[in-house]
Amino acid sequence: MVTLDDLQVSTLGPCTVRSPLARYVGGRETNEYYVGETDRILYDDTVELLLARGLPLESLPTFESGGPRAELYFEPSDVKVGIVTCGGLCPGLNDVIRALVMELHEHYGVTEITGFRNGYAGLVPELGLEPIDLTPSFVANIHERGGTVLGSSRGAQDPAVVVDTLQARGINVLFVIGGDGSMRGAHRIAQEALSREVDIAVVGVPKTIDNDIPHIGQSFGFQTAYARASQSIKAAKIEAEASLNGIGVVKVMGRHAGFIACYSAVANHDADFVLIPEVPFSLDGDNGLLAHVRRRVEQQGHAVIVVAEGAGQEHLPTDETTDASGNQRLADIGRLLRERIGDDFATRGEEAMFRYFDPGYFIRSVPADPADAVYCARLAQTAVHAAMAGRTDLVVGRRRHRFVHVPIELVTQRTHHVSPDGDLWLSVLESTAQPFDMR
């Protein structure tokens, strides 16, 4: 159970520098713009949960609120910033980079901003990846294209070498844009800097297209991802409807969490079955997937299946190898479904006409949609405010419409999953009319 101590964010020291953002406040009361140092956001969101803890108000678990502070830790004119993007691509990476640069340069007056290329590898000098000088003119239009202008890579680097590089360049703020593996690396970098007693703020902007990082609400790029995935589902249905015994299979991202599969299916109600890692299913038997697909095709002439890439791995041979991020390689559930469903129809003297869609890399590389673009900008601004106030070893996120600071160590302890007993999965069942249990 999360406690108040778990939510305490590390700071480099007291804030004594007046913020240059004061000019935006004008004659208004400061508490209408600035975030107070004692402003906290409740972790629990129902009266029942609060009462169950049996704690006084001051002991309840709360997040530190994100946003601009009236007093800063760093003198803005002395700040040098580094930015790095790590892991796989995701819609909105360039939006975050652009918003970081614009907030730092235009509002805090920070002019020395370095973009390290190809993930943490760019912070290892011997690899020879020359950094990029990030200026407002350089980033002006990067949000119009997908990917990241800094490049990316998977895999960790020695935090001691990284901190050596930051110190050598005089960088005292590092923004890390990446997933849970990247955040573990950011935590090690922050801890290395703290152990040396050097003033380097490490702030994470968590990126996961699977939306599987806990405590941060929704991750950026996720809305764009499921919107694009829903287009593939629509295409699969149109193709399946036009074929005799047509079956559309759409495989979407989701190694351990089925959020994209769920949201994209609910978005247009065109899916007949949704398969996610959190909900096991059988292939054979009267209540197995094969029988249900066959019956659905008999009833309406076609069927559409949306499957997360990590679903049904129990039906496939285990691959013990891992990728550069340490993730176990997944077997191809899409191929298995095509083979088994095709064989099931063939044993009855029928042919299933498959239309297979795997839009993963297409979705990863598209620009953010307008809603995600706004979210990216606000996350980046919150990250800058946190760093300038001397916060470190944290990520920024949004909980119930409030921006918050979350210790990196907390968000990397576990992954966020679709609850088989939760309202999201119930919405999926209502949208698809698939059985509650296919085992």
Q: Counting every residue, how long is the chain?
A: 439
CA distance 36 to 43: 18
CA distance 329 to 51: 43
Contact 96, 374 (CB under 8 A): no
210 is an active site residue: yes
Q: Environment class of residue 136 by beta-carbon count within 10 Å: exposed (0-12), middle (13-18) or buried (19+)? A: middle
Give the count of beta carbons closer than 10 Å to the beta carbon of residue 11: 17
Distances (CA, A) of 425 to 63, 276, 312, 410: 28, 10, 17, 25
Give the count of beta carbons closer than 10 Å to the beta carbon of residue 223: 20
Amino acid in position 404: V
CA distance 172 to 332: 44
CA distance 168 to 181: 25
Q: Which of 210, 344, 372, 393 is catalytic?
A: 210
CA distance 337 to 209: 24
| Catalytically active residues, by annotation | 210
